[in-house]
Amino acid sequence: MIIKPTESELEILNILWSKGPSTVREVHEVLEQNKEAGYTTTLKLMQIMHDKTLLTRDASSKSHVYTANVSQQKTQGQYIKRMIDNVFNGSASQLVIQALGNHKTNKKELDEIKKYLAEMEKKTK
Amino acid sequence: MIIKPTESELEILNILWSKGPSTVREVHEVLEQNKEAGYTTTLKLMQIMHDKTLLTRDASSKSHVYTANVSQQKTQGQYIKRMIDNVFNGSASQLVIQALGNHKTNKKELDEIKKYLAEMEKKTK
DNA sequence: TTGTATTTACGAAAATATTCGTAGGTTTGC
DNA sequence: GCAAACCTACGAATATTTTCGTAAATACAA
């Protein structure tokens, strides 16, 4: 199944991924920190996401509690794939190098990457 | 200036980046290989992109010749930034690792990345 | 109980993106 | 010169995404 949340949906997924199951109100309060938005806008979005099964919800209490129903990892993977295909001519290394170049990457992050590369090497042998 | 081409626009930019300046017909023929689309649809899109100054054009001959007016590198950079922010919680290394993990990366690509990392190291010192 | 606040459901407007038909102009080959 | 092929311009229909107002239900406090 192809997961293709819109940008707004992605913002909401991100909040749910990091905070865990939340009510509309809770999600909305986080969203508001970055941009203006009406409460019912957030509500509607999350209802639509529920219809699309991007979210599940527990309606047992008055304020429904929503949970992301797609994994962060899988969603990330599909985004990357789309991006590599559409924007990077299929070259993952081009993406990686751009990412490292444009973004200020700290030592800890670099170490993680090197560690990961080393593991890949091992498996290849 | 923030560059934010839509998905369709990105497809066209990619063609222009790789083929260089081209007519609508030439772009359209490449597009057709991947998906069904009417000629005037492609034309209209490129006209809109011209209005947005994503493309420049030479109208001196009957078939106008369009050129990408945004660099591939800059566009890529902005996409990555947006993606890191929206989908990867601001962590570039998370993106890099996902990219390497999901995508089959060959030895040549891996070498390029390692080389790049080594250079970064040098500069940091 | 009663009213105030909060919530959901839902329709619909507004904004944005995509697709296409048609009209009119230009080129080309016969 | 004339028709066929091809091109642009442009309006408008569709589709998709985002936003919001309103009504009805529920909870809660006085």
Higher-scoring residue by pLDDT: A56, B86: A56
Express each pLDDT in B37-64 by its tens digit: 899 999 999 999 999 999 999 999 889 9
ipTM: 0.83
Q: Is the CATH number of domain A7-68 1.10.10.10?
A: yes
Rg (chain A; Cα; Å)? 18
Across residues A76-80, what is the average pLDDT? 86
**Separation of CA A116 from chain center:** 21
Residue B8: the pLDDT is: 94
The Cα B7–Cα B35 span in angstroms is: 13
Q: Which of B80, B110, B114 sits opposite A99 (nearest CB)?
A: B80
The Cα B12–Cα B42 span in angstroms is: 9
Is A116 near chain B, with CB under 8 Å? yes
Whether B17 has a pLDDT exceeding 80, the answer reads yes
Min Cα distance B58 → chain A (Å) is: 25
Residue in A with minimal Cα distance to B86: A11
The Cα A79–Cα B1 span in angstroms is: 24
Residue B103: the pLDDT is: 66
Strands laid side by side in the A22-23 sheet: A22-23, A65-68, A55-58
The Cα A50–Cα A114 span in angstroms is: 39
Domain map (residue ranges) of chain A = 7-68
